[in-house]
Amino acid sequence: MKVALVHDWLTGLRGGERVLEQLCLLYPAADIFTLVYVPGSCGEIIERHRIVPSFLDRLPKRSYRHYLPLFPLAIESFDLRAYDLVISTSHAVAKGCRPGPGASHVAYVHTPMRYVWDQFDTYFGPGRAGLLTRVAANAVAPFLRRWDVASTRRVHSLVSNSSFVAERIRRYWNREVDAVVYPPVDTSRFVPAAEGPDDYALIVSALVPYKRVDLAVSAFSRLKRPLLVAGDGPERGRLEAAAGKSVRFLGSVPHEDLPRLYARARFFVLPGEEDFGIAPVEAQAAGRPVLALGRGGALETVIAGETGAFFPEPTVESLIEGIAAIDRLEVDPMRLHEHATRFDTARFGPELARAIDACLTRRRQ
């Protein structure tokens, strides 16, 4: 059986690429198709496969997100007729690829496109984008929404990365998922610290609008409490300009340095609505509680009063009340670590393989 893996873009090694890594291990002879590929950016497991980029790869890669109106055309341009099984991993357009007439297509969906559905204003509202960008986004968004729904007809089996995403798929695409398979988290990398935690709270995140890191920056600046922010992205300049002296930006932290950074934190902060959220699971694996917005995937990974606390509204005032709540929480670091192993990498491959096999069996009947 000839297998193609279709991924939105390969420009770094983040949560979506960790899923792709596991697929590469399941299908070591598979070819990978992607919109844009930056060689050397996504690790040995992925890069030992044959990688086929789209025509967008010939344009300046630094600006690839600006090519959003061209994404549907680019993902549909791949010739997949030679493949018996197509597996897409999608948070943008990968699930809209065109499999061959006799092929089976399984889509692992991280989320329907946030920036054309419920988080459009977060990306393109006043203060987030210039006037021309907002005008262009409003002109293109209706087309992208129609395409996003219509292209699901090319998917024979939908697998979501959380029950929260399954509900979003139902709401926006009017489709039911066939399985929920939580993303792989390498919990073995993280162990609770032998000594007590330091005073800082921690965020590990891409600095993009929907992550709502601005809420945490404002809250910790107002309280003059230490907050470390690990990660980079287009919002960094704006966030640094708004931050008080108690907030430090670490930039992109090396993979090998993250376990200690987690383990020494007083608690981890998740200020935005996540589809699943790998970082909060990593924090719990390191024995540290999580303060999260009480929405989205965090409701499936954090146990209120035991492994963390929730704040109800995406406001600075609500987050400050949450800080007071988590300050009162007494936790058992080993219990947190044990809870996090529910999401370990070891169970991901077999669970996804069962979902794929179920699709193939239905297609043969």
Residue 150: is its pLDDT beyond 90? Answer: yes
Residues with Cβ within 8 Å of 348's Cβ and at least 6 positions away in sequence, in order, are: 19, 22, 181, 182, 183, 184
pLDDT tens per residue, range 22-76:
999 999 999 999 999 999 999 999 999 999 999 999 999 888 878 888 999 999 9
97 in Cβ contact with 86 (< 8 Å): yes
**Is the pTM value of this prediction over 0.85?**
yes
For residue 194, pLDDT beyond 90: no
Average pLDDT over residues 348-362: 94
For the stretch 88-133, pLDDT in tens is: 999 999 999 999 999 999 999 999 998 788 776 666 666 666 666 6
Q: What strands lie across the sheet with 308-311, from one edge to the other?
A: 247-251, 227-230, 201-204, 267-270, 290-293, 308-311
Q: Do 3-184+345-364 and 187-343 agree at the fold level?
A: yes
- Mean per-residue pLDDT, 79-90: 97
Q: What is the pLDDT of residue 130?
A: 67
Residue pair 109/158 in contact (Cβ under 8 Å)? The answer is yes
What is the CB neighbour count within 10 angstroms for residue 76? 15
The per-residue pLDDT for range 268-324, each reduced to its tens digit, is 999 999 999 999 999 999 999 999 999 999 999 999 999 999 999 999 999 999 999
pLDDT at 8: 97
| Residue 123 backbone dihedrals phi, psi, to 5 degrees | -90, -35
Question: So where are the chain's domains?
Answer: 3-184+345-364, 187-343
- Is CATH 2.60.40.3680 the classification given to domain 187-343? no
Average pLDDT, the chain: 93
In this structure, of 112-126, 141-155, 218-232, the range with the lowest mean pLDDT score is 112-126
CATH code for the part of the protein at 3-184+345-364: 3.40.50.2000
Where residue 180 falls among pLDDT bands split at 50, 70, 90? Answer: very high
pLDDT for the residue 247 = 98
Q: Helix or strand or coil: residue 228?
A: strand
